[in-house]
Amino acid sequence: MFKMVFLQFLYDLSDRDIEEQCTWNMLFKCFLGLSAEELPPDHTVLCRFRQHLGAGGFQRLFNQVVEQARAQGLVSDRLHIIDATHMTAKVDLFRLKKEHQDGNDDDHYVDRNSPDPDTRFDRKTPKKGFYGYKSHVVQDADSEFFVQVLTTPGTV
């Protein structure tokens, strides 16, 4: 299940799309350890897996992968590079603004009515804004392996 979620994130696929890819794409099947005739888990099982695991569960899995990489000597911890980048949320802002036609100049209408309540507006430059998150990463300089990741609202 974790491998399916990993592929889903890597290729930016929906639950139904990842199920289809894992059914027909032999590279995906091989990565998952499925035989050519074997079917992957249903997309609803994948959704329940993510909900059951939650953010804390994904953090624990990430930490285990980093510890295994350290134990194998893949991460040296000699020098770390720290950076942050913005990630745009998949929210239909046009629809939210269109719904907000009552004339009230409420700056927080989108934040309160967004389907993704953790996102926020921020600016990369005075003319270029975004609505989403910031991903803060710590990378091992020698292996280029991410050893720590924190995702925050865009204003952080």
**What are the domain boundaries of the chain?**
1-74, 78-156
Helix residue ranges per DSSP H, 12-125: 15-24, 26-32, 43-71, 93-99, 109-113
User: Beta strand pairing status for 80-88 and 129-140?
Assistant: antiparallel
- What pLDDT does residue 116 have? 79
- What pLDDT does residue 105 have? 57
Helix (H) or strand (E) holding 9: helix 2-11
Sequential pLDDT tens for the chain (156 residues): 999 999 998 999 999 999 999 999 999 999 999 999 999 999 999 999 999 999 899 999 999 999 999 999 999 999 999 999 998 888 777 777 666 665 565 566 677 777 777 888 888 888 888 888 999 999 999 999 999 999 999 888
Q: 104-135: string of b/e by CB count within 10 Å (b at 16+)? A: eeeeeebbeebeeeebbbbeeeeeeebbbbbe
- What pLDDT does residue 122 have? 86
Q: How far apart are CA 62 and CA 68, in angstroms?
A: 10
- What pLDDT does residue 100 have? 63
Tell me the three state secondary structure of residue 3: helix
Number of neighbouring beta carbons within 10 Å of residue 101 = 7
> How confident is the model over 127-148, as pLDDT tens digits?
888 888 999 999 999 999 999 9
The reported pTM is 0.69
- What pLDDT does residue 29 have? 97
Q: Using CA of residue 109, residue 114, residue 120, residue 124, what is the dihedral sign? A: negative
